[in-house]
Structure 1
């Protein structure tokens, strides 16, 4: 069987979605832990890999009638686009930065949504629930750090994001490699 035939028959967008989630969260965590500045690289990553790539993965999952993955990837793609918009638009002179209360509310809502995804993921193995539990914790810590300007809390949230990103990157790589080798090479 050629590579093309295998791809056409078995191509699943889940690894792309998980990698888009994981790499972008990992970089946001590193930035929140004050190891990297918020610059054009971070904004581009959020816009294209966190945003656009996940929406594309979600649309393909929708076509495969996978409502959980479709909703997850489309929603998270839109999360990244709105987050980038909240940073980039004020820098371009369009609107103001959100207030601390508004950003805290935004992060809490996404943390709650991730909690719902955690409940859904409980039926999908061990790794996905772990990712969504850590993602919820990351978002709640970001919300707390936004509400209370404590450097230690910012860094704690950042390191929680790094852990969450690593878990999602591992899950995306594991699913991709398991698909290539057509057997469980890495546990998920």
Structure 2
């Protein structure tokens, strides 16, 4: 006579939540860039450094950590927006790099308003589709993604029309977008630390 024992093994995920890192990397850098868009200071090395390090690298780190957790949405979101920040820094810096040229002695041309508007518009389309996915997620992320889509479309419109007024409006809207992402990220840190919902998200 044989006796079979059914045993269930459960594994608990003890890794940290990477979402706050990604949200804060995105949020703080977005606020700083859009303070520039709102007209308070010119674009400078502070924005480029933040875009490369915190806006870019931090979100890419979060992307890899979310991948390990099997979170497709967060992997795509953090990976895409981390690389968005890197691509933006490259767009701004590449024309200034003298040894890179297009055949002759002419440096690579900076993106003209039409091509830059196309760049921003495509990011707006991507973000709008990602917003649809957030309808199954927390309300805080819904606010971040719909306001980010609006930001991209405003910036695209401002660049294609040459309207500084639209760029300024986009700057203020972008400050809200970044602040919303910061709120969601910090709320997750505070709520997890306290073990209860201190701040609603």
The normalised TM-score by structure 2 is 0.87
User: How far is 1:166 from its partner?
Assistant: 0.6
Q: Which runs of 5+ in 1 are unaligned?
A: 1-7
Deviations, residues 57-81 of structure 1 (Å, cap 9, x unaligned):
0010001100100110000000000
Aligned length: 181
Matches within 5 A, 1:111-122: 111-122=124-135
Cross-structure match for 1:70: 75
**CA separation in 1, counterparts of 2:43 and 2:149?**
22
Distance 2:146 2:131 in 1: 6
The answer to whether structure 1 residue 13 and structure 2 residue 18 are counterparts is yes
Q: Which residue, 161, 165, 168 being the options, matches 2:181?
A: 168
2:60 is the alignment partner of 1:47: no
Larger RCO: Structure 1 or Structure 2 (Cα < 8 Å, ≥ 6 residues apart)? 1
> Which residue number in structure 1 is paired with residue 141 of structure 2?
128
Secondary structure at 2:64's aligned position in 1? helix
Q: How does 1:16-165 map to 2 (within 5 A)?
A: 16-93=21-98, 94=100, 95-165=108-178
Q: CA RMSD in A?
A: 1.1
The structure with more radius of gyration? 2
Aligned partners of 2:115, 2:41: CA distance in 1, in Å? 24
TM-score by length of structure 1 reads 0.93
Q: Deviations over 1:21-46 (max 9, x none)?
A: 11111111101011122111000000
Query: Using the alignment, how far apart are the partners of 1:70 and 1:149 within structure 2?
Result: 35
Q: CA deviation at 1:103?
A: 0.7
Tell me by how many angstroms 1:9 deviates. Answer: 2.2
